[in-house]
Amino acid sequence: MGISDTQGALAGGRSYLAIPGPSVVPDRVLSAMHRASPNIYQGALIDMVDTLIPDLKRVARTDAHVAIYMANGHGAWEAAFANTLAPGDTVLALVTGRFGLGWSQMARDMGLEVETIDFGRASPIDPAQVEAALRADKDRKIKAVLATHVDTSTSALSDMPAIRAAMDASGHPALLMADCIASFACDRFEMDAWGVDVIVTGSQKGLMMPPGLGLLFFSEKAAEVRRGLSRVSPYWDWTLRANPEEFYQYFFGTAPTHHLYGMRAALDMIHEEGVEAVWARHDLLARAIWAASDVWSEGGALRMNMANPAHRSRAVTALSLPAPGASDLRFWLEANAGVTLGVGLGMAEPSDPAWHGFFRIGHMGHVNAHMVLGVLASIEAGMSALKMPHGQGALGAAAQVIAEGQAQGV
Ligand SMILES: *Cc1c(COP(=O)(O)O)cnc(C)c1O
């Protein structure tokens, strides 16, 4: 059944897709994409694409390399492996949710040996266990460590500098690869300062664009590993994409013309605001959501998945309400408030009734105070309408966080 079949009068007006990707696309990005097809052989497009490269690197905080693919996040996942690993190589997969599991399964499907440390569904990566696993690898079989910075299913945020430090302490030479698809341009991430070799990300979350572009940032060390491989599948090879001699080599074929204009506008928005300010905005808005959730929890069954604020993403918040409460609430908001919340992922099988006990709020990218306060107020209205007990004063608590953050200069 389509959503429109159930929409009530209160859901009119502009809707808000508050799921953790695809995220809200700003009008400025949409407008930039709304144009006739440009010449792909000479002229403005060619000059414009060159300007994207440094501006992307400034978001990733790297001076190293970037390759752009016409792909979603799964494509970028695959590209990372294709350039650094050969069948039979071993990777250490650090799993904090469904996305970490998915990336490790892809490694298996590409013929890699996978050692997994699963930290469960409500904990970040424990660097001490990473260090122990690397120390135990006396033969240095592990070629890469896979870390999901923010696992979008659990909203677990892992401490990348601590993981780097654990790797350094073990003296192990493996590459550090980070899935930043959820966290890019939302949660602080500093590729070079944190010693990360490969970042995997995509266009449709913090970058505020439609799905369709996958991005890989890679260090000189990773580039060296690539040069040592005897064969890399031509489409995924990052060599010419990162250092093209001809324009078409950026994309190994026709350029994703309109996405590139969208990306130019999105990067303009990010750098006009400032990367630090973008992170600070996400932090403040996330804390408003946490403040409301804490108050609701005091008088009811709603819970945030990540108990410790230090382990929570600023891009997405995973919550639970006993089944089928989470689904009831999602349906209520969609039908009566024009807000779409994210489904729970990876907490239960969709066929299990418990699946209806989880939901997520996406707060990544083009999100401001009134959007977050509107989502929170809509959730409160939904819980009231559905007679779900909840603590009183959550909206005031969220508004207070916004007010104090604004006064402190965010
Ligand atoms: C969204 C997401 C993915 C998958 O991206 P797709 O574009 O759906 O392929 C992978 N990892 C994380 C952490 C994500 O948030």
pLDDT at 7: 79
How far is it, in rounded angstroms, from Cα 14 to Cα 195?
42
Which ranges of 274-389 does DSSP label H, i.e. alpha helix?
Answer: 275-298, 325-336, 369-385
- From residue 281, how far is each of 217, 226, 295, 377 by CA, in Å? 24, 37, 22, 19
Residue located via tokens 């919550």: 319
Q: Which atom of ligand 1 is nearest to the CA of 180?
A: 13
Ligand 1: does its nearest atom lie under 6 Å from the Cβ of 23?
Answer: no
Ligand 1: does its nearest atom lie under 6 Å from the Cβ of 181?
Answer: yes
What's the CA-to-centroid distance between 408 and ligand 1, angstroms? Answer: 33
Mean pLDDT of 302-331: 98
Strands (E), 71-212: 90-95, 113-118, 142-148, 150-151, 156-157, 175-179, 198-202
Ligand 1: does its nearest atom lie under 6 Å from the Cβ of 187?
Answer: no
Q: Which atom of ligand 1 is nearest to the CA of 21?
A: 1
How far is it, in rounded angstroms, from Cα 156 to Cα 314?
10
Confidence of residue 6 (pLDDT cuts 50, 70, 90): low
Contact 67, 215 (CB under 8 A): yes
What's the CA-to-centroid distance between 74 and ligand 1, angstroms? Answer: 7
Structure tokens at 225: 């590993």
Ligand 1: does its nearest atom lie under 6 Å from the Cβ of 22?
Answer: no
How far is it, in rounded angstroms, from Cα 165 to Cα 406?
34
Contact 216, 67 (CB under 8 A): yes
pLDDT at 5: 56
Does the pLDDT value for residue 237 go beyond 80?
Answer: yes
pLDDT at 8: 87
Compute the mean pLDDT over every residue in the chain, rounded to the nearest whole number: 97
Query: Within 10 A of 220 (CB to CB), how many other CB atoms are there?
Result: 11
Mean pLDDT of 93-101: 98
Ligand 1: does its nearest atom lie under 6 Å from the Cβ of 262?
Answer: no
pLDDT at 155: 98
What's the CA-to-centroid distance between 180 and ligand 1, angstroms? Answer: 9
Q: Which atom of ligand 1 is nearest to the CA of 204?
A: 7
pLDDT at 2: 46
How far is it, in rounded angstroms, from Cα 239 to Cα 77?
16
Structure tokens at 160: 């990348």
DSSP designation for 238? -
How far is it, in rounded angstroms, from Cα 393 to Cα 400?
11
Q: Which atom of ligand 1 is nearest to the CA of 150?
A: 13
Which residue has the CA at smallest separation from atom 2 of ligand 1? 181
Region at 212 (left for phi over 0; alpha for psi -120 to 50; beta for the rest): left
Backbone angles phi, psi at 124, to 5 degrees: -80, 175
- What pLDDT, in 10s, does the model give residues 63-90? 999 999 999 999 999 999 999 999 999 9
Contact 148, 95 (CB under 8 A): yes
Mean pLDDT of 188-210: 98
Does the pLDDT value for residue 376 go beyond 50?
Answer: yes
Assign 381 to helix, strand or coil.
helix
Choose among 395, 381, 399: nearest CA to 10.
381
What domains does the chain contain, in order, with CATH numbers? 33-272 (3.40.640.10), 274-407 (3.90.1150.10)
- Helix 394-407 vs helix 369-385: angle between axes, to the nearest 10 degrees? 170
Confidence of residue 1 (pLDDT cuts 50, 70, 90): very low
Mean pLDDT of 281-310: 98
Ligand 1: does its nearest atom lie under 6 Å from the Cβ of 158?
Answer: no
What's the CA-to-centroid distance between 73 and ligand 1, angstroms? Answer: 5
Mean pLDDT of 402-409: 94
Choose among 169, 122, 123, 112: nearest CA to 146.
112
Choose among 73, 319, 79, 84: nearest CA to 203.
73
Pocket-testing residue among 17, 69, 78, 99, ligand 1, by greatest number of atoms within 8 A of Cβ: 99
Mean pLDDT of 51-61: 98
Which residue has the CA at smallest separation from atom 12 of ligand 1? 181
Torsion sign over Cα 65, 67, 73, 78:
negative
Which residue has the CA at smallest separation from atom 15 of ligand 1? 182
- Report the run of H or E that residue 226 belongs to, with start and end: helix 220-228
Ligand 1: does its nearest atom lie under 6 Å from the Cβ of 73?
Answer: yes
